[in-house]
Amino acid sequence: MASASSPKSRPGLLDGLDPEQRAAACAPRGPVCVLAGAGTGKTRTITHRIAHLVRSGHVAAGQVLAVTFTTRAAGEMRTRLRGLGVDAAQALTFHAAARRQLRYFWPQVVGDRPWELLENKFRYISQAANKAGLGTETELLRDLASEIEWSKASLVSPDDYPAVAARTQRDTPAPASQVAEVYRNYEKVKNAAQVLDFDDLLLHATAVLEEHTVVAQEFRERYRCFVVDEYQDVTPLQQRLLDAWLGGRDDLTVVGDANQTIYSFGGASPRPLLEFTRRFPEATVVRLERDYRSTPEVVALANQVIGAARGRPAGSRLKLIGQRPSGPVPRFAEYDDETAEAAAVARRIRDLLDSGVTASEIAVLYRVNAQSEAYEQALAELGIPYLVRGGERFFARAEVRQAMSALRMASTDADTGELVTRVRSVLAKVGLTDQPPAGGAAKERWDALLSIVELAEELASTVDDADLPRFVAELEQRATAQHPPTVEGITLASLHAAKGLEWDAVFLVGLAEGTMPILHADGDDAAIEEERRLFYVGVTRAREHLSLSWALARTSGNRRNRRRSRFLYGLIPEDHPAARVARSQQPKQSGNKARCRVCGGPLPETLDIKLGRCSRCPSNVDEQLLEKLKSWRGERSRELKVPAFVVFTDATLVAIAEQRPTDDTALCAISGIGATKLERFGAEVLDVVRASVGS
C-alpha cells in the first residue's frame, strides 16, 4: 500500500479518508479501480485523489479531466474539488466534455462550417418516420428516438441494426428493417440541416481524436490524467471516447457500483468496470464497504433491497456496513390516493422543517417526472419552497441570460465593491426586487435571479478575494457545464436524476406496481432488475430519514385497485399496520381473508392462496435455490425423522427462494420463521442461500 502522506502533500488532505480510501487516493499514477457500494465515499476518494496528485506535483490541475454522468453530479464534483483547492481540474459530464472539445477542434478539422446542437430531435424523427412509411404518433416517435439513441450509444450503425436487434432480441418499436430505415433517414435530414444531436457530440469528438493525429497530440499534451465516476453506467460510445482521450495511456481512475447500474436501457453496461483488471492487470483495485452516508437503519434496508436482486455479477455482492450513529427507522405508509399521499408527505416535510432539518436537505424522489405535479401542489399549499430537478435549462432562461450579460458588462468596470452587493445591484436592473412578487411566472423569474445572488454568496464564502470577473467566469463555466445553482428548497427529482447525490431526508413516493417498477418493465426480468437497482439508488440517497409510500388509487373516488410495489415485499416490519397483509400470506385458516404477499391484494382463488400471491403478481422465485432448499429440507427431515413441513413449509421455502435473505434479520423478516426456527436452522439455510446467491 502506498504511504498515507507523500512528503510534498499538505498535511491534513488525506486525514478524512479511511485506510482503503487512502490507498486509492495515494496510488501512484496509473490505472486505479474502486469497486464499492453506495455512500462508501467513492466520489470523495476520487476528488481527494485528484487533489493529492495535484498537490504532490504529479500532475497539474489543468491536466486532469474528471467525468461523470449527470450535470448535478458533475457540479457536485466541482464543488468538492473547489473545497479541496483544485479549481482548475475539469469535472464535466461526458457530453459537456465532448461538446467543449468539439467546439475547440472543429474549426481546425472541419473549417468554418458551423454546427448547432439539436435540443429537440422530434421534428427530424417525425420526418424520418414518415419517409419510412411509419406513423408519427408521439409514443412511436418517442420509442424510435430512444431506439436510435440506444443504437448510437451502442455503436450500432443503421446497416448493422437489424442483425444486432435480432441477435440481442431487442423489443423493437417497429420491424427492425424499418427502424433501421428511420435511423438512416434521421441521420440524413439531421446532417442536411447541419445540426448535431447529443450522441453526435461524442461520436464526432471521438472521430476527431481518432482520425487527426495533430489534434490528438495537442489534446493528449493538454490532458494527462482521467477520472470517471459512476463508471458502471458507461456506454460503448463513451468508452470509445474515453479510449480516444487516453490514446493508449493508462492514467485512468474509475469508480463505480454495479448495483447502481440504471442506464442499461440506454446501452450502458457495468462490464468495463467489472472487467477493469482484465484490461489493466497491474491496476490498483480497492473495495470499500463502510457506508458513511446513511444510518445503520437505512443501510440495513438498502442491503435487504439489493440482497433480493437476481443475477448480480461477481464483484458486486458487497454488503454495506453502516458507520453512522443509529437514527430513526424507515417509515412505510400506504394511502388511499395520490393526493392524500402527497398531502401527507408535505405535512411530514413541514414537521421535519420545524424540527430543524434544512429545506435543501430534503428530497422527494419519484420514478417519472409526471409524478412531481401532485407534490408541487401539496408543498405549495403549505407554503414550502421547492425546486423541480431536471432544472438543467436554468441557463437557457431569458432572465438568466439577461442577468449574465449584465454581469459580464459590469465586470469590465473598474468598480471594486463587495461581490454580493455588486451582483445584487446589477441584477436589480434586470428585475430583482427586494421583495418577491406574488407568484406565477414573475415569482419564478425572481427566484432564478435570486439564485444567482446565492451563487455569489457561495463563492464569496469559499474564495477570499472573489470579485465580479471571477464570478462571471464561474457562471460561464457552470453554463457550459449546465450546472444550475441549488436553491434553498425541497428537491423534487426523478430517481435517475438523484444518482450520486444525498439528502438528510428522502421520501420515496409512488411505490406502486406499474410505477415502481414501471409498467413496461413487467415480464422482462432484466428490466425488473434495473428497476430494483433504481429503487436501491433511491433508498441509498438518505442520510437519516427515509420514508417509503404508495397509494392504492390515483385520485380520490377511483377504485383502489393499485398494488404496492413488489420491491417492498419483505421490507415492511412485522409490527407495521401495512405489514398485516404480508403476514397473512400463510394459506391457513384465514380463508378468504388471505392476501397476496407481493401486492397485498385479496386472494380469491385457492391456487393463489396456496402460492400466497395472485397469479397476476410476478413470481420472484429463484427456482434453482428452491430446489436446493428442498433437497436440504429433505436431508434434514430424514435426519430428524420428522415430516418435511415440520422443518419448513413449502410456503416458507418459496418465500426464502424469493427473498434470498443473507443474514438473520432478513431471514427473520420472512413469515414462518421465528426465533426457534432461526436458532435450529438459520445458519444452514443462510449457507444454502449464500452459496446459491454467490454462485
Q: Does 43 bind ligand ATP (CB under 6 A)?
A: yes
- Report helix, strand or coil for 446: helix
Q: How far is the CB of 91 from ligand ATP (least distance, A)?
A: 13
Which of the stretches 40-48, 503-511, 592-600, 627-635 binds ligand ATP when contact is defined by CB under 6 A? 40-48
- Determine the Cα–Cα distance for residues 507 and 547; give it in Å rounded to an integer: 5
Q: Return the C-alpha cell found at 601.
A: 391484494
Residue 528 to residue 520: CA distance in whole angstroms: 9
Residue 42 is labelled as binding a ligand: yes
Contact of residue 40 among Mg ion, ligand ATP, none (CB under 5-8 Å per partner type) = ligand ATP
The grid coordinates of residue 649 equal: 413449509
Cell of 626: 428452491
Distance of CA 102 to the CA centre of its chain: 27
Under rule CB under 6 A, residue 42 binds ligand ATP:
yes
Query: Interface with ligand ATP includes 504 (CB under 6 A)?
Result: no
38 is in an annotated binding site: yes
Q: Residue 529's binding partner, choosing from Mg ion, ligand ATP, none, with beta-carbon cut-off 5 to 8 A by kind?
A: none
The entry of Mg ion, ligand ATP, none near residue 293 (CB within 5 to 8 angstroms by kind) is ligand ATP
Q: Which stretch binds ligand ATP (CB under 6 A): 31-39, 159-167, 212-220, 345-353?
A: 31-39
40 is a contact residue toward ligand ATP (CB under 6 A): yes
Picking from 582, 597, 502, 599, the residue whose alpha carbon sits closest to that of residue 545 is 502
Q: What residues numbered 27-46 form the site for Mg ion, per CB under 5 A?
A: 42-43
Which residue, 341 or 502, is less far from ligand ATP as judged by CB?
502
The CA distance from 648 to 156, in Å, is 51
Torsion of CA 512, 516, 520, 526, to 10 degrees: -130
Choice between 229 and 658, CB closer to ligand ATP: 229
Segment contacting ligand ATP (CB under 6 A): 13-21, 219-227, 298-306, 359-367? Answer: 13-21
95 is an interface residue for ligand ATP by CB under 6 A: no
Q: 289: buried, middle or exposed (CB in 10 Å: 19+, 13-18, 0-12)?
A: middle
Q: Number of residues interacting with Mg ion: please give it, by CB under 5 A.
A: 3
* Of the residues 4, 5, 6, 18, which one makes contact with ligand ATP according to CB under 6 A: 18
Q: Which is nearer to Mg ion, 46 or 423 (CB)?
A: 46
The site partner of 251 among ligand ATP, Mg ion, none (C-beta below 5 to 8 Å per kind) is: none
Compose the 508-547 pattern: x for residues touching ligand ATP by CB under 6 A, - for all others. Answer: --------------------------------x-------
439 is in an annotated binding site: no
274-333 positions binding ligand ATP, by CB under 6 A: 292-293
Q: Which does 633 bind (CB under 5 to 8 A by kind): Mg ion, ligand ATP, none?
A: none
**451 touches 427 (CB < 8 A):** no
CB within 8 A of 313, min separation 6: which ones? 258, 270, 274
Q: For the CB of residue 102, give the shortest distance to ligand ATP in the complex, in Å.
A: 28
Burial of residue 461 (number of CB atoms within 10 Å: 0-12, 13-18, 19+): exposed
Question: Cα dist. 365→101, 335, 624, 690 in Å?
Answer: 34, 17, 35, 32
- The two beta strands, 362-366 and 503-508, are parallel
- Distance separating alpha carbons of residues 655 and 569, to the nearest angstrom: 10
Nearer CB in complex with Mg ion: 27/501: 501
Residues 453-492: x where in contact with Mg ion by CB under 5 A, - otherwise, as a string = ----------------------------------------
Chain position carrying cell 474539488: 81
21 binds Mg ion, rule: CB under 5 A: no
**How many whole angstroms separate alpha carbon 617 and alpha carbon 370?**
25
Q: Which is nearer to ligand ATP, 37 or 661 (CB)?
A: 37
Return d(Cα 263, Cα 168) in angstroms, integer.
17
Q: How far is the CB of 648 from ligand ATP (least distance, A)?
A: 36
Residue nearer to Mg ion on the CB measure, 21 or 172: 21
Residues 495-514 touching Mg ion, rule: CB under 5 A, are 500
Q: In the complex, what is the shortest distance from the CB of residue 545 to ligand ATP, in angstroms, rounded to a whole number?
A: 15
Partner whose binding site includes residue 38, from Mg ion, ligand ATP, none (CB under 5 to 8 Å by kind):
ligand ATP
Shortest Cβ 20–ligand ATP spacing (Å): 9
Contact status, residue 303 vs residue 319, Cβ threshold 8 Å:
yes
CA angle 525, 566, 522 (to 5 degrees): 35
Q: Is 302 annotated as a binding residue?
A: no
Instruction: State the Cα–Cα distance between residues 95 and 99, nearest whole angstrom.
Output: 6
Piece in contact with ligand ATP (CB under 6 A), picked from 35-43, 301-309, 348-356, 680-688? 35-43
* 193 CB-near residues (< 8 Å, 6+ apart): 124
CB of residue 46 vs Mg ion: minimum separation in angstroms?
Answer: 8
Q: Which residue is nearest to ligand ATP (CB)?
A: 41
Considering the rule CB under 6 A, would residue 38 count as an interface residue with ligand ATP?
yes
Peptide bond connecting 517 to the previous residue in cis, omega within 30 degrees of 0: yes
Q: Identify which of residues 70 and 304 has a Cβ nearer to Mg ion in the complex.
A: 70
- In the complex, the smallest distance separating the C-beta of residue 303 from ligand ATP, rounded to whole angstroms, is 14
Report residue 364 CA to chain centroid gap. Answer: 14
Given the rule CB under 6 A, which of 38-46, 130-138, 569-577, 631-639 is the region that contacts ligand ATP?
38-46
Q: Rounded to whole angstroms, how far apart are CA atoms 388 and 366? A: 11
Question: Is 40 marked within a binding site?
Answer: yes
What, of ligand ATP, Mg ion, none, does residue 280 touch, CB below 5 to 8 Å by kind?
Answer: none
**Distance between CA atoms of residues 457 and 598, nearest Å:** 50
45-80 core/surface letters (b: 16 or more CB in 10 A; e: else): bbbbbbbbbbbbebbebebbbbbbbbbbbbbbbbeb
* Binding partner selected for residue 26 from Mg ion, ligand ATP, none, CB under the kind-specific 5 to 8 Å limit: none
Residue written as grid cell 402460492: 611
Q: Does 447 bind ligand ATP (CB under 6 A)?
A: no
**Complex with ligand ATP: residue 341 or 530, whichever CB lies closer:** 530
Gap between the Cα atoms of 305 and 638, Å rounded: 34
Interaction partner, residue 63 (ligand ATP, Mg ion, none; CB < 5-8 Å by kind): none
- Cβ distance to ligand ATP smaller for residue 294 or 671: 294
Residue ranges in 249-278 that form contacts with ligand ATP under rule CB under 6 A: 257, 260
Q: How far apart are CB 252 and ligand ATP at their closest, in Å?
A: 18
Take residue 35 and report the three cell numbers written for it.
469497486
Q: Give me the residue label for grid cell 439513441.
A: 149
C-alpha span between 342 and 374 (Å, rounded): 6
Residue 479 among known ligand-binding residues: no
Cα(483)–Cα(93) distance, integer angstroms? 10
CB atoms within 10 A of CB 607: 9
Using the contact rule CB under 6 A, the part of the chain among 33-41, 195-203, 559-567, 665-673 near ligand ATP is 33-41
Which residue spans within 302-374 are E strands per DSSP?
321-322, 331-337, 362-366
**Footprint of ligand ATP on this chain (CB under 6 A)?**
16-18, 21, 36, 38-44, 257, 260, 292-293, 500, 502, 540
Give the residue numbers of the binding site: 36-43
**Footprint of Mg ion on this chain (CB under 5 A)?**
42-43, 500
Give the residue numbers of the binding site for ATP: 36-43
